[in-house]
Amino acid sequence: MIDPISLLDLTSLNDDDTDERIVALCEQATTPRGHVAAVCVYGRFGALAVRELRTTAIKVATVANFPAGDDDPVGAAAEVATQVADGVDEVDVVAPWRAHVAGDTQAVTRLVRACVDAAGGKALKVILETGSHPDAATTRAMADAALDAGASFLKTSTGKHGQGATPEAFAVLLDAVKAAGHGGVKASGGVRTADQADAYLAQARAAMGEDWISPDTVRFGASSLLDDLLARS
């Protein structure tokens, strides 16, 4: 059975982050049980993280259109292009969820397509901010739109607005990925304990099967989860 550490996007997205803090985060990403899938940092630290992790297999992820999720495809795509030019492997971009909820059902498609083009083949993880949606149908519609537009992953939340990941939202994202036949899922926002990670993995196994689970299909976005996983040796 896969170790959840290998599925972790070890994250620091604090307004007061410093170079020193990001260097320390990169050092923590390699553990006695193996390395995490990626480190996730603000775009201004992307090049630094790339340098720190250049001799490892750990990916560098940055964020764009974050955390607001503005309806600004041009601006979001420009952020993505800059970060990819810095050498990052993945970009987590916030979908324009407010625009979708307000009735513009093409907003997600426009922004994700622009960002996929800007990413130039790099993985694009689309943050839906599921805890702020009025119902599961809204989440599913946004998930379908993101996948159709080329998203590599569907991610629950920024962790900065409203409720974070929930089993209910995670189930909707899994169903959307299964129906599309491609993509991965990332639980983020309030995922702090090994037991929570186990529960999300159990959902993924039930929906998709054990063989489907890998760093290419399942991720956890968290800062404190690693310590709890390591404590369970």
Q: Which residues are catalytic?
A: 92, 155, 186
Q: Kindly tell me the sign of the dihedral angle through the C-alpha atoms of 105, 106, 107, 112.
A: positive
Residue 67 · residue 98 · CB < 8 Å? no
Cα of first residue to Cα of last residue in the chain, in angstroms, is 14
Give the list of residues 6+ apart from residue 154 with CB closer than 8 angstroms, or none: 125, 126, 128, 143, 146, 147, 173, 176, 177, 183, 184, 185, 186
β-bridge mates for residue 118, sequence order = none
Cα distances (angstroms) measured from residue 44 to each of 64, 118, 212, 217: 11, 17, 33, 26
